[in-house]
Amino acid sequence: MTTAQKDFSVIREEFPILNQKVNGHPLIYFDNAATTQKPAIVIKNLGAYYLINNSNIHRGAHTLADRATGMFEATRKAVQAFINAPEAEECIFTKGVTEGINLVAQTWGRKFLQEGDEVIITYMEHHSNIVPWQMICEEKGAILKVVPIFENGELDLEAYKNLLSARTKLVSCVWASNALGTINPIKEIIDLAHQNEAVVLIDGAQAGSHIPIDVQAMDMDFLVLSGHKLYGPTGLGVLYGKRALLEAMPPYQGGGEMIREVSFSGTTYNDIPFKFEAGTPNIADVIAFKYALEFVNQIGKETIIEFENSLLNRFVAGIDSLNTKFGSNRIKLIGTAANKVAVQSFTIEGKHHFDIGMMLDAKGIAVRTGHHCTQPLMDFYKIEGTVRASFAFYNTLKEVDVLLEALEKIASR
């Protein structure tokens, strides 16, 4: 066992949920792209908030309210550092990535998109980065353009360049594909868009837990992140936006917290981030999220990537040798880009992904099956769906071997 593997086996112990049996077998959790498990420190602090500090924030002149407000805003600062944002105020808490994208579509889009304008997305977007744009484009008479991909799951950058024009107002692109694992060259995508004076939104749902983030170095306009895919609680996400953009946008929802003054003759709005955080926010989860970010920082993204890649490589090599054994490509890998996060989709000849998922579950192995909310992408590959194994740093090489063994049995049947 290498030092890295030994260290990660210690880190694994911080995830109490992994220590259980499912259908009589030790749980092997390979559905990390859907949601990651939570370290004990996050769970503990989630509970501690309700046990000790529960109070509404940004109001109440009492000690508990002060404490809760301080902890809530401390997470905002932690997020700022995590993505290297210039200001904490540019980090808005949302319900998740879906809400973040809808927020931008419904505020920035509603104000700035006009008839004939173009919005560019890619073929590998999650439905949550397709539908909000379809909705606002339809409303505004704007046109949605889609960047094609190659068979291996990489973006066709030449086609992207050709789609860009003076009519392009916004580009919304996934950083790492949830179905394929492809890491897109977002710096290049952003720079090209900026040369055309288009604004860029980056969907960091999958990238957040794997790739180091520097919104300034990348010159990101908007970035959306998910809390629960980053070892944090569910129902929580982050929208980063450049101050000038956020200030130019109208509010998303009306209510408490987002106002400066309200009268029946009119209302003035609060400054960012509060302008976009109407109502009592998800205080407990935001507070606990800080501990998830610290947990990831302590390990370090580079270390995480290196180890997760070893899991992915073991899996891909294992499938290759199974296919050699079968004498045919019975297990087909979907998504074979050169630069990937630790996500691998595949299909097995003559087997339905639903059956494969059920049979793996019978062995205690949790994977995702289906279209992964990327139906256009499935249409591109002319398949109904895939089985997707997605790895995290608490997984082990041995677990990958158990999956490979189970797949050999299924494919041989």
Residues that bind another protein (CB under 8 A): 23-24, 351-355, 358-359, 361-363, 369-370, 385, 413
First-to-last CA distance in the chain?
33
Amino acid, single-letter form, for residue 388: R
Residue with tokens 């401390």: 74
Q: Among 37, 233, 201, which residue's Cα sits nearest to residue 119?
A: 201
Spatial distance between the Cα atoms of 376 and 129, rounded to a whole number of angstroms: 12
Spatial distance between the Cα atoms of 237 and 281, rounded to a whole number of angstroms: 11
Spatial distance between the Cα atoms of 333 and 404, rounded to a whole number of angstroms: 13
Distances (CA, A) of 153 to 59, 164, 331, 334: 49, 21, 17, 8
Residue 385 Cβ, how far from another protein at the closest point, in Å? Answer: 7
Residue 348 Cβ, how far from another protein at the closest point, in Å? Answer: 12
Spatial distance between the Cα atoms of 145 and 165, rounded to a whole number of angstroms: 11
Q: Where are the alpha helices (DSSP H) in 141-282?
A: 157-163, 186-195, 243-248
Which residue number, 155 or 389, has a Cβ lying nearer to another protein? 389
Which residue number, 29 or 295, has a Cβ lying nearer to another protein? 29
Q: Among 404, 378, 238, which residue's Cα sits nearest to residue 321?
A: 404
Sign of CA dihedral 233, 286, 66, 82: positive
Residue 402 Cβ, how far from another protein at the closest point, in Å? Answer: 13
Residue 129 Cβ, how far from another protein at the closest point, in Å? Answer: 20
Which residue number, 39 or 385, has a Cβ lying nearer to another protein? 385
Residue 361 Cβ, how far from another protein at the closest point, in Å? Answer: 7
CA angle, 302 then 15 then 291, to 5°: 65
373 classed as catalytic: yes
Which residue number, 236 or 365, has a Cβ lying nearer to another protein? 365
Which residue number, 41 or 410, has a Cβ lying nearer to another protein? 410
Which residues participate in catalysis according to the annotation? 373
